[in-house]
Amino acid sequence: MSTHAPNEPRVTPLRPQVPSPGSGGAAGAPRRPVGGSRPHAPREPLWRDLVGAVLRRERSAQERTLKDVSEAARISMPYLSEVERGRKEASSEVLAAAAQALGLSLAELLVLVGDELARHTRSRGARGRTSPTARYDGFRLAA
């Protein structure tokens, strides 16, 4: 039986709770560094940011307006703007429509996005086990 009251919200923490210093936590419990000096790995770019950057770059290269492309793709102009700025995660249907409006296939758009990701990976240096030029052939990473 649950000790939870029936009409009170339940909160499930997404991360393990770490006791704060001086709260009487376990002796060997990990503690966060004071002052926010926690080391962190460089942030990977988000897919939506890369897609948006490629869409905007292609539209600008064609000297087309956001209104023109949104009408051709049958996507609302505010939504396309949000996608280009990386604020919205577009569905495959929206991406296909935007790509077609720019004279690209969905596959061509995704290749351009993959190239952008590879360029970003090269610019920050190889930090993983695979080289930045490794390709996924469906079964394994191949150099």
The vertex-102 CA angle with 96 and 103, nearest 5°, equals 85
So where are the chain's domains? 47-120
d(CA 133, CA 118): 7
Single pTM value for the model: 0.60
What topology is assigned to 47-120 in CATH?
Answer: 434 Repressor (Amino-terminal Domain) (1.10.260)
* Number of alpha helices (DSSP H) and beta strands (DSSP E) in the chain: 5, 2
In this structure, are residues 48 and 88 in contact, taking their beta carbons and an 8 Å threshold? yes
Mean of the per-residue pLDDT values of the chain: 79
Tens-level pLDDT at each residue, the chain (143 residues): 556 566 666 666 676 666 655 555 555 555 555 555 555 556 788 999 999 999 999 999 999 999 999 999 999 999 999 999 999 999 999 999 999 999 999 999 999 999 999 998 888 775 554 444 555 555 554 55
Fill in the DSSP letter of residue 103.
T
Query: How confident is the model at residue 129, as a pLDDT?
Result: 45
How high is the pLDDT of residue 107?
A: 96
CB of 66 within 8 A of CB of 77?
A: yes
Token digits for 71?
């009408």
